[in-house]
């Protein structure tokens, strides 16, 4: 049996006239309404940008903003996404959960954004994500919280551009156990952020054969810490500290006064010292201590060409400060997440042939289908593995040592060090 590949023409005079008429009408319409036709094909893709302009997250927000603007400029300079320019629609969330949800509603129902993007502080993300899910607005977050991978949120919320705290913390354990000591005393703020560190690190460290000899929880309103230091056991080899907020300067100063010149090794997370000059008065005691960094603030001897180009694009000098003001220290360990997330959004929109809000589900499926992300200009922090089921990315972590008022890289973890069992499969949820 053969297929008839060419059907005989059945054109009639009436049909030809109808076709010509329709074609003429379309031609006339395109001439008479060029703006309308143009708007359908080249209107910018609107990305609602939830940003901490005010509130406790303002120093992060300032640099998230600069990084995102630089990333969008690069995307637009290269021709945009699917031939359309990208427009960021920034809106202050006040680092507040209620305002964050309001901003998401504004993006979805007033600004007519294609997607939402942002933000750092977990309570804003968790307060906003339910509304994003209900409004069916893809919400790409740069929060580093474990809330995405824990399964708490929904299919519309993804974190493809920055690793989460669980993977960061557990990846530190092998280095600490092998190089700094086997007996660790943990000092952490007595709320969820500190509890995450306590739980994830102690489990990972004990798996390395180490011992947590004390867990000292500091009340969140505490302003003086000296009274807690006698609780540090005498045989402590490493103090693991994750204090947050402005009190961190007092914490470090009082710790220095308590121990004097002979102290255990110190290991901490950079989070509370982001946007703070490590050479600030009062931080001298950190000399010789170790820090987690998502991306090293200071230019390292093995600097990649991608880091160099990324710094130049965002306007960051070799010390991690603004090129226009050396006192304006960046949040370098986190803000790369904005750059990388926007590039992932671009890749997802191109893979899904995204044209408008009707393609939002396709966009999410396209991002869920991603896995290996190679280091490069789109991913200057390093290679990553994205887990489409948990909507969470995994990547290298960096450990630096404070030496001579700067932080020098001493260890880079493997991606495998950061992996853990899936806790959710968002792909089983319907759109």
Partner 1 sequence: MDRALTLHLAIIAALALAFFILPAYHAGNLARIMVLAIYAMGYNLAFGYTGLLSLGHALFFGAGMYGLSLSMQHLGTPTLPALAIALACAAVVAGVVGALALRTKGVAFMIVTLMFAQAGYLVALYFSEWTRGEEGFVLPQTMRQIAGIDLTTAMGRYFAALVLFAITLLIIGHIVRAPFGRTLIAIRENEARATMLGYDVQRLKWIALVISGTISGLAGATYALLFGYAGASFAAVPYSILPLLYVLLGGAGTTLGPLIGAAFMIYLFDLSADITDAYMLIAGVVLVLLTMFLPQGILGTLRARRFKWLP
Q: Please tell me the distance from the alpha carbon of residue 72 to that of residue 345, in angstroms, as a whole number.
A: 11
> By C-beta, is 100 or 160 nearer to partner 1?
100
Please give the residues from 239 up to 258 whose contact with partner 1 meets the rule CB under 8 A.
Answer: none
Q: CA 90, CA 67: separation in Å to the nearest integer?
A: 13
Shortest Cβ 370–partner 1 spacing (Å):
25
Determine, following the binding rule CB under 8 A, whether residue 70 of this chain makes contact with partner 1. Answer: no
Instruction: Kindly state the number of chain residues that form the binding site for partner 1, as judged by CB under 8 A.
Output: 36
Question: Minimum CB separation from partner 1 for residue 322, in Å?
Answer: 18
Determine, following the binding rule CB under 8 A, whether residue 220 of this chain makes contact with partner 1: yes
Q: Nearest approach, Cβ of 65 to partner 1 (angstroms)?
A: 10
Binding mask 172-211 vs partner 1 (x if CB under 8 A, - otherwise)?
Answer: ------------------xxxx-x----------------
Give CA angle at 336 (330, 341), nearest 5°: 145
Q: How far is the CB of 395 from partner 1 (least distance, A)?
A: 22
Which residue lies nearer to partner 1 by CB, 97 or 347?
Answer: 97
Q: Please choose, from the candidates 139, 135, 134, the residue with its C-alpha nearest in 3D space to the C-alpha of residue 156.
A: 139
Q: Measured from the CB of residue 127, what is the shortest distance to partner 1 in angstroms?
A: 4
Nearest distance, CB of residue 226 and partner 1, angstroms: 21
Nearest to 297 by CA among 310, 287, 285, 282: 310
Contact 214, 184 (CB under 8 A): no
Decide if residue 265 touches partner 1 (CB under 8 A).
no
Structure tokens at 85: 């320019």
Q: Which member of 126, 273, 291, 370 binds partner 1 (CB under 8 A)?
A: 126
Rounded CA gap, 184 and 182, in Å? 6
- Per CB under 8 A, contacts with partner 1 among 5-24 are none
Among 46, 53, 263, 401, binds partner 1 (CB under 8 A): 53
Nearer to partner 1, 133 or 264 (CB): 133
C-alpha pair distances (Å), 254 with each of 20, 51, 119, 194, 231: 85, 34, 33, 20, 14
375 in contact with partner 1 (CB under 8 A): no
Round to whole Å and give the CA distance between 395 and 55.
29
By the 8 A CB rule, do 216 and 186 touch?
A: yes
Asked if residue 323 binds partner 1 (CB under 8 A), the reply is no
The reply on whether position 431 binds partner 1 by CB under 8 A is no
Long-range contacts (CB closer than 8 Å, 24 or more residues apart) made by 140-147: 140/115, 140/116, 140/341, 140/344, 140/345, 141/117, 142/64, 142/117, 142/118, 142/334, 142/337, 142/338, 142/341, 143/119, 144/120, 144/168, 144/294, 144/334, 144/337, 146/196, 147/122
**Tokens read off for 235:** 């045989």
Instruction: Check residue 221 for interaction with partner 1 (CB under 8 A).
Output: yes
> What's the min distance (Å) between Cβ of 225 and partner 1?
17
| 85-104: contacts with partner 1 (CB under 8 A) | 91-92, 96-99, 101-102
Supply φ then ψ for residue 68, to 5 degrees: -65, -40
**Residue from 44, 59, 85, 105 in contact with partner 1 (CB under 8 A):** 105
| By the rule CB under 8 A, 133 interacts with partner 1 | yes
Q: In the chain, what are the helix, strand and coil shares in percent, each to the nearest 5?
A: 40, 20, 40
Judged by the rule CB under 8 A, the positions of this chain that interact with partner 1 are 53-54, 91-92, 96-99, 101-102, 105-106, 109-110, 122-123, 126-127, 129-131, 133-134, 145, 147, 152-154, 190-193, 195, 219-221
């Amino acid at each position: 049996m053969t297929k008839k590949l060419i059907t005989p023409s059945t054109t009639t005079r009436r049909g030809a006239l109808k076709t010509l008429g329709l074609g003429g009408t379309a031609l006339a319409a395109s001439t008479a309404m060029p703006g309308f036709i143009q708007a359908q094909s080249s209107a910018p893709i609107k990305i609602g940008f939830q940003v901490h302009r005010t509130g406790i997250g303002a120093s992060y927000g300032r640099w998230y903003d600069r990084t995102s603007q630089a990333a969008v400029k690069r995307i637009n300079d290269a021709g945009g996404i699917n031939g359309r320019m990208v427009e960021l629609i920034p809106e202050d969330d006040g680092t507040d959960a209620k305002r964050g949800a309001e901003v998401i509603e504004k993006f979805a129902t007033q600004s007519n954004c294609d997607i939402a993007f942002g933000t750092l502080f977990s309570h804003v993300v968790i307060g906003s994500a339910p509304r994003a899910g209900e409004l069916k607005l893809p919400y790409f977050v740069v929060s580093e919280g474990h809330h995405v991978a824990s399964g708490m949120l929904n299919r519309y919320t993804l974190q493809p551009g920055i690793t989460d705290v669980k993977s960061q913390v557990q990846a530190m354990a092998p280095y600490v156990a092998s190089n700094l000591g086997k007996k660790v005393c943990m000092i952490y703020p007595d709320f969820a952020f500190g509890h995450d560190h306590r739980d994830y690190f102690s489990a990972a460290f004990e798996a390395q054969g180490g011992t947590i000899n004390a867990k000292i929880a500091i009340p969140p309103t505490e302003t003086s810490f000296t009274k807690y230091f006698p609780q540090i056991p005498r045989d402590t080899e490493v103090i693991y500290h994750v204090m947050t907020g402005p009190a961190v300067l007092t914490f470090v100063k009082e710790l220095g006064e308590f121990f004097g010149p002979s102290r255990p090794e110190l290991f901490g997370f950079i989070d509370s010292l982001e946007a703070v000059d490590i050479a600030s008065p009062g931080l001298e005691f950190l000399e010789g201590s170790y820090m987690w960094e998502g991306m090293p603030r200071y230019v390292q001897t093995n600097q990649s060409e991608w880091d160099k180009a990324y710094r130049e694009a965002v306007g960051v000098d070799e010390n991690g400060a603004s090129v226009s003001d050396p006192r304006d220290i960046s949040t370098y360990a986190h803000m790369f997440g904005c750059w990388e997330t926007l590039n992932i959004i671009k890749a997802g929109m191109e893979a899904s042939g995204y044209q408008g809000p009707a393609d939002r589900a396709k966009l999410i499926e396209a991002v869920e289908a991603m896995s290996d992300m190679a280091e490069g200009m789109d991913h200057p922090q390093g290679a990553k593995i994205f887990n489409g089921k948990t909507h969470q990315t995994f990547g290298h972590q960096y450990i630096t040592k404070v030496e001579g008022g700067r932080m020098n890289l001493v260890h880079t973890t493997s991606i495998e060090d950061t992996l853990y069992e899936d806790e959710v499969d968002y792909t089983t949820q319907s759109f």
